[in-house]
Amino acid sequence: MFSSVLSAAIMGVECFPVRVEADVSDGLPMFNMVGYLTSQVREAQDRVKTAMRNMGIALPPKRVTINLSPGDLRKDGPAFDLPIAAAILTALGYLEEVMVKDVLIVGELSLDGSVHPVSGILAMVDKAKEMGCRACVLPKENWREGQIIQGIPVAGVSTLRETIEMLRSGDFERFQLENPVGEVFYREPEYSLDFDEIQGQEAVKRAAVVAAAGFHNFLMIGPPGAGKTMVARRLPTIMPQPSLEECIEISRIYSIAGLLPADSPLMAARPFRAPHHTLSPQALAGGGRIPRPGEITLAHRGILFLDELTEFSRVSLEILRQPLEDRQISIARAMGSFCFPANCMVVAAMNPCGCGYFPDMNRCTCRPGDISKYLRKISGPLLDRMDICVEAGAVEYQDIAVKRKKGPSSAELRKEITRVHKTQEERFRGTEIRFNSQIPGSELETYCPVEKQGRELLEKAYKKMNFSIRGYHRILKTARTIADLEGEEILLKSHISEAICYRKADKKYWKI
């Protein structure tokens, strides 16, 4: 007999439907699987046969052929174990065809018949809803994750026998949550860090607020112990919570990467990724035989923090150039091209020289040639893509006194930045733009009107400091955010002046 069960496969960050077909016929006893399969999928035949036997289901001595369609889509991972078992059981008559019709089934089988969790559930359930399926059957450990997608019944099973009972009953509705997903999972994140813990560095903190308000790329240069990492790690605490749609988008990526926390299936906070400087280019961009999301994609809608920027390999850093412009990264493999989202805010920190104390010549022990060689590790095109570049000097003694006046807290700054984000949301409503940093060059005249004195200052700075066109555009975008923080619609001279100052540091050091 022939049967067919619906499942799904993950390629990159996209989900594709897969039809698991089973044919049980007379002939020489054998178990054959086809359909462009990896070794992980081929191993399913031993897991499925043993699991069925240990569940008391005898597989008759017949010719069993399994086909995973479409044949030009490469299938990987153990998620096809359960649908293969369901297809065989339907072909053998244990289940009726109507019981598995329009039901998406995924899960890994153990030899004793228990069902183990798999990655990518969020994308699979979303695809099932898009296809109009009447239900999803998935591992019980993935049940909370699957419930995030509303509008489709999701059943969690722990064993193969329970799967059979569930499909026979068809009672999927009782597995739905009683409360909407927003009430259950979408809650304000709690942070153990606070911005008021940062002592001194007022200019750096101001730059951090501007960067968070407009989602601008942010580079800090300064000696060791100046607080650069401290500022970066507190940036998520001043950024507003992402919308529910953004949370689902972030959670989908983490689900595919297998990094979604079991106790929190919805990523309610913006991601903060801080990879070590020894990471490979593939780990940063994503890749592998079957490409998986890299650090820049895992930071989507959040922050990618590159501490000790000059210690990263040149190849790894140059990979960032295209994603910083396009907000996505494309990876080509023999089996096809993959496009990963990479709309993140890049925050970086570095020392000005090998010893870390330049330009303080009383402490710096580096020769001019060594300083120049050290700084050349960062290419000019990459620096040009950093909207804000500030100098974090050594902290003064009065700033670390015990009885000091605390600055604004993360909650206070988050309230101000939330207001600016709402202003941008209203401004760009009906477009694909979300933040000021994403304004295309063709739209700058529309969104960034500048007063006469500001225009004159821009012209002088452009001629004297030899800015590139990209640098000029980024000054306007940063000034737009500064004006939003001040509640101004027109970009004033003071806004342009501050934005230009954020481009000074990269000129100061790199002209050595």
pLDDT at 449 over 80: yes
| 115 SS3 class | strand
> Hey, is 184 helix, strand or coil?
helix
Q: Pick the range with the lowest mean pLDDT from 27-31, 93-97, 480-484.
A: 27-31
Tens-place pLDDT, residues 135-160: 999 999 999 899 888 889 999 999 99
Q: Name the phi and psi angles at 324, rounded to 5.
A: -65, -25
Taking the model in full, what pTM does it have?
0.90
Dump pLDDT digits (tens) for 7-24. Answer: 999 988 899 999 999 999
Q: Where in the chain is the domain with CATH 3.40.50.300?
A: 242-343
pLDDT of residue 402: 58
Report H helices in 215-313: 228-238, 244-257, 281-285, 295-298
Neighbours of 459 (CB within 10 A): 10
Secondary structure class of 165 (helix, strand, coil): helix
Query: Is 142 in contact with 118 (CB distance < 8 Å)?
Result: yes
Q: Which CATH code is given to the segment(s) 2-178?
A: 3.30.230.10
Question: What rounded mean pLDDT belongs to the chain?
Answer: 89
CATH number of 242-343: 3.40.50.300
Q: Give the separation between CA 255 and CA 124, rounded to whole angstroms.
A: 10
Q: Is 80 exceeded by the pLDDT of residue 209?
A: yes
Mean pLDDT to the nearest integer, 410-427: 95
Q: Which whole number is the average pLDDT over 293-301?
A: 95
- Neighbouring CB atoms inside 10 A of 270's CB total 23
Q: The tokens of 98 are what? A: 């109507």
What is the predicted pLDDT for the residue at 510? 56
The dihedral of CA 468, 472, 477, 479: what is its sign? positive
pLDDT of residue 57: 87
Listed in order, the ranges of the chain carrying CATH 3.30.230.10 are 2-178
- What is the pLDDT averaged over residues 192-202? 88
pLDDT band at 182 (very low <50, low <70, confident <90, very high): very low
Looking at residue 179, what is its pLDDT? 43
Structure confidence at residue 60 (pLDDT): 87
Express each pLDDT in 22-76 by its tens digit.
Answer: 999 988 888 999 999 999 899 999 999 999 999 888 888 889 999 999 998 889 9
The Cα 148–Cα 331 span in angstroms is: 29
Q: How far is CA 498 from CA 343, 380, 480, 493, in A?
A: 25, 22, 11, 9
Phi, psi of 315 (to 5 degrees): -65, -45
Residue 362: predicted pLDDT: 85
Mean pLDDT of 363-375: 88
Dihedral sign for Cα 317, 319, 324, 327, please.
negative
Place of tokens 């909407």: 180
Hey, what's the torsion of the CAs at 105, 41, 48, 71, to 10 degrees?
60
- Separation CA 326–CA 331 (nearest Å): 13
Place of tokens 């960067």: 211
**Confidence at residue 174, expressed as pLDDT on a 0 to 100 scale:** 61
Rounded Cα gap, residues 339 and 330, in angstroms: 4
Residue 384 has pLDDT above 60, yes or no: yes
Average pLDDT rounded to a whole number, residues 406-429: 93
Q: For residue 138, give Cα distances in angstroms to 110, 125, 236, 342.
A: 14, 9, 33, 29
Mean pLDDT of 485-510: 84
Q: Give the model's pLDDT for residue 236.
A: 95
* Run of H or E including 20: strand 14-25
What pLDDT score does 372 carry?
87
Q: What are phi and psi of 135, to 5 degrees?
A: -170, 165
